Amino acid sequence: MKSDVEELMPRLLPVETCDTGEDFNLNEPPRNPQEYLRQVQLEASLCPDVVVAKIDPKKLRKKQSVNVSLTGCQAAPQGFSPSLKWQRQQVSNFSEIRQSISKHRQHWSGHALDDNVLMPKQDSEEQWKKFCLGENVYLNSPPIDPGVEDRGLDYVKVGFPPFLSIVSRLNQATISAVLEYLINWFEEREFVPQLGRWLYALLACLEKPLLPEAHSLIRQLARRSSEVRANLESQEDERLSPLNLMICLVARYFDQNDLADKED
């Protein structure tokens, strides 16, 4: 094996063969260049021929590869796409909100959370879905009786809003992770107000330039939003405006221009 290694890695410097019996102390600095090279040679001879890394598969993320689809959004039905003026105004508003969050992040992150706010761990996908959407949406439970709701909101049931004191505590890795959890949930279900609020807040906290994972996620969000919009039956549907907003922000603010709505 040693000869194979020497054949694959020919010597580049004329160094005499190290006598393993020589009294070298690897913990002491070499006194001259020749002694340094001999110490390196001795250290190499002590290394095993084959090294196997110990990897805990539980620590690996489920998705290791990032596939960025270049597929565009579905065209909006006639009269369902927003005007260019509306899109520009939403981008301007969104930009101001991002600046405000960035400016006051440290202030809000220092605010104490209520006792009932238990932030899930970053890799707790199901817990994050329950936290953001609420158990009623997550478990597809019947709507809350208005009489019960008037007695006080149960955020565990209806979902915690993306308060600044909450989102300001999230680092970029957690923001990307929660975005992924919610967008994957949206791929198989309908749009709900809790989802829209959290997607907007997370996008407002997402730093540019985007990482490849985030780039893929927001494109996925815009495409899914266009699919749901294409199946709406009325321009009066309350989901139309937030769906248009998701597409607008991804395309116009995050520079995914191929996904942008064109004026009718």
**Given this model, what pLDDT does residue 233 score?**
94
Say if residues 29 and 13 touch (Cβ distance below 8 Å). no
Tokens 């007695």 — which residue?
151
Instruction: Determine how many CB atoms are found less than 10 A away from the CB of residue 66.
Output: 12
Q: Please give the radius of gyration of the chain, using alpha carbons only, rounded to the nearest integer.
A: 28
For 125-167, the pLDDT digits (tens) are 999 999 999 999 999 876 555 454 445 678 889 999 999 999 9
**Given this model, what pLDDT does residue 40 score?**
80
Say if residues 263 and 83 touch (Cβ distance below 8 Å). yes
- The model's pTM is 0.71
Most confident of 57-66, 133-142, 204-213: 204-213
Tokens 């010597």 — which residue?
11
Distance CA 54, CA 27 (A): 27
Could you give the 3-state DSSP secondary structure of residue 67? coil
Q: Which residue has the higher pLDDT, 34 or 90?
A: 90
Distance CA 3, CA 5 (A): 5
**Given this model, what pLDDT does residue 150 score?**
46
**Given this model, what pLDDT does residue 23 score?**
64
Q: Which residue has the higher pLDDT, 208 or 109?
A: 208
DSSP category for residue 64: -
Say if residues 80 and 235 touch (Cβ distance below 8 Å). yes
* Residue 76 structure tokens: 């909006």
H/E stretch holding 131 reads helix 125-138
High-pLDDT (> 90) share of the chain, %? 56
Instruction: Determine how many CB atoms are found less than 10 A away from the CB of residue 27.
Output: 5
Q: Is pLDDT at 216 greater than 50 in this prediction? A: yes
Please state the rounded mean pLDDT for residues 88-112.
90
* Residue 157 structure tokens: 């049931």
Instruction: Among 2-11, 125-134, 209-218, name the one with the lowest average pLDDT.
Output: 2-11
**Given this model, what pLDDT does residue 12 score?**
64
Distance CA 264, CA 248 (A): 15
Residue length, the chain? Answer: 264
**Given this model, what pLDDT does residue 186 score?**
97
For 81-95, the pLDDT digits (tens) are 999 999 999 999 999
